[in-house]
Amino acid sequence: MSIDEKSTSVERQLSGTDERRKRINRMKKTIIITCIVLVLIPIIVCFFLLIRVNQLEKDIDNLLSMKESGKIVSQVDSAGERYLVLSAGTEEKSEPESEKETESETAMETTTATKETVEETTTADTYTGRRAYLTFDDGPSVNTIPILDTLDRYGIKGTFFVIGKADEQSMQLMKEIVNRGHSLGLHSFSHDYGTLYASLQNFSADLTSIHDLVKNATGKDVKLFRFPGGSSTTTTAVDIREFIKYLNDNHYRYVDWNVSSQDATGKAMTAEQIASVVVSESLGCNNAYILMHDAGGKESTVQALPAIIEQLQANGFRFYPIDDSVDNLCQHVKSTSVQ
Ligand code: ZN
């Protein structure tokens, strides 16, 4: 082989090596690009899925708030499937419920619904934000005036569900509740589950007694009622629906609660504990029907009130009394479920 031939052979070999390098580089690029694409696609998909999940969470929140405010209600169809429908504006709308009051509690619920100011009372129908109804059961008592003073100080109104205290001082307190612009409700005369719930006859006689006592004290024909133990109480000797039908037939409305201050559960609660429970439970509601008690011995409830009001206001709540304008009453057993 001549020198020229050897040189040509070496050049060919070099040229072949360059080709292989280029091919390898192309393959490397292809592999790298493929890897990048394979990594990027899941990231992009995850990103869009995250956005979608966020949207769905917002939709769920909206639906829950609409359900809570009574704009939609849940129904069960003939196949047993639960679904949501727009409310037809019936008297009672759905409200999340949580009966916390124990049956051992024998004489201590109170209801108050409050309005933040007199001005807000008049514009209640247009306010679309969160509402809190402070309710005080089982009074009046020595704790009623301190509660009224606190509510006055904040310029808000509540609802007091009174029992059959027929002494002059108690009747003056009922009058004072009305005179200061709060709502007054009936909470039975006896508040004795065994007697009150023994029969429809007992129930109707008791209701008449407390109605007439309040009428004598205040001049008001009060048609707002709260069942001792709530409408879901299991302490009745007859079906609670008999009592509900009686209330419906006699044009009474009743209201339960979806927030319990737990100030009547039998265990001693400090003011801080009561406020903490009420605020944390209310934050889950658009319409918070707050159960408290203004009976004797409920000083912790009195002390908890300023913190409850301030913290709920800070979270966008306004306070309203429960009056005829409130059409989404919280009821554990709906009045509309009884014909
Ligand atoms: Zn009670």
pLDDT tens-place string over residues 127-165: 899 999 999 999 999 999 999 999 999 999 999 999 999
- Could you tell me if 203 and 294 lie in one domain? yes
Share of the chain above pLDDT 90, in %: 61
pLDDT band at 196 (very low <50, low <70, confident <90, very high): very high
Q: In this structure, which residues have their CB less than 5 angstroms from ion ligand 1?
A: 109, 137-138, 228
Q: Do 157 and 319 touch, CB atoms closer than 8 A?
A: yes
Q: What is the distance in A from the centroid of ligand 1 to the CA of 182?
A: 18
Q: What is the distance in A from the centroid of ligand 1 to the CA of 153?
A: 26
In the three-class reduction of DSSP (H, G, I as helix; E, B as strand; rest coil), residue 86 is classed as: strand
Query: What was the pLDDT predicted at 16?
Result: 76
Q: What is the distance in A from the centroid of ligand 1 to the CA of 229?
A: 6
- Could you tell me if 330 and 205 lie in one domain? yes
Which is more confident, 86 or 246? Answer: 246
Query: What was the pLDDT predicted at 120?
Result: 43
pTM of the model: 0.66
Other Cβ atoms within 10 Å of 179 Cβ, number: 11
Query: What was the pLDDT predicted at 314?
Result: 98
Q: What is the distance in A from the centroid of ligand 1 to the CA of 66?
A: 30
- Could you tell me if 107 and 202 lie in one domain? yes
- Could you tell me if 322 and 190 lie in one domain? yes
Nearest to 133 by CA among 315, 302, 286, 287: 287
Q: What is the distance in A from the centroid of ligand 1 to the CA of 292?
A: 9
pLDDT band at 3 (very low <50, low <70, confident <90, very high): low
Cβ burial of 276 (10 Å; 0-12, 13-18, 19+) is middle
Query: What was the pLDDT predicted at 1?
Result: 60
How many angstroms separate the CA atoms of 257 and 226, rounded? Answer: 9
Q: 164 lies in a domain?
A: yes
Q: Domain limits at 247?
A: 92-116+127-337
Total tally of structural domains belonging to the chain: 2
Q: Tens digits of per-residue pLDDT, 219-265?
A: 999 999 999 999 999 999 999 999 999 999 999 999 999 999 999 98
Mean local confidence (pLDDT), 105-127: 44
Alpha carbon separation from 225 to 176, 182, 189, 208, 256 (Å, rounded): 19, 15, 11, 12, 9
Q: What is the distance in A from the centroid of ligand 1 to the CA of 84?
A: 33
- Could you tell me if 39 and 109 lie in one domain? no
Mean local confidence (pLDDT), 292-306: 96
Q: 271 lies in a domain?
A: yes
Is the pLDDT at 103 greater than 60? The verdict is no
User: What single-letter DSSP state applies at residue 141?
Assistant: S
Nearest to 70 by CA among 52, 95, 91, 48: 95
- Could you tell me if 152 and 288 lie in one domain? yes
Q: What is the distance in A from the centroid of ligand 1 to the CA of 329?
A: 18
Residue 230 in tokens: 């709530």
- Could you tell me if 158 and 250 lie in one domain? yes
pLDDT band at 303 (very low <50, low <70, confident <90, very high): very high
- Could you tell me if 272 and 150 lie in one domain? yes
Q: What is the distance in A from the centroid of ligand 1 to the CA of 21?
A: 90
Q: What is the distance in A from the centroid of ligand 1 to the CA of 105?
A: 8
Share of the chain above pLDDT 70, in %: 77
Q: Residue 291: what are its φ and ψ, rounded to 5°? A: -90, 120
- Could you tell me if 298 and 182 lie in one domain? yes
Q: Residue 49: what are its φ and ψ, rounded to 5°? A: -65, -40
How many angstroms separate the CA atoms of 206 and 200, rounded? Answer: 10
Query: What was the pLDDT predicted at 2?
Result: 64
Mean residue pLDDT of the chain comes to 83
Query: What was the pLDDT predicted at 41?
Result: 87
Q: 151 lies in a domain?
A: yes
Which is more confident, 81 or 27? Answer: 27
- Could you tell me if 19 and 136 lie in one domain? no
Q: What is the distance in A from the centroid of ligand 1 to the CA of 267?
A: 16
Query: What was the pLDDT predicted at 37?
Result: 86
Q: What is the distance in A from the centroid of ligand 1 to the CA of 55?
A: 43
Q: What is the distance in A from the centroid of ligand 1 to the CA of 122?
A: 30
Q: What is the distance in A from the centroid of ligand 1 to the CA of 52?
A: 47
Query: What was the pLDDT predicted at 7?
Result: 67
> CATH no. for residue 225?
3.20.20.370
Q: What is the distance in A from the centroid of ligand 1 to the CA of 154?
A: 26
Q: Do 109 and 291 touch, CB atoms closer than 8 A?
A: yes
- Could you tell me if 40 and 175 lie in one domain? no
- Could you tell me if 144 and 209 lie in one domain? yes
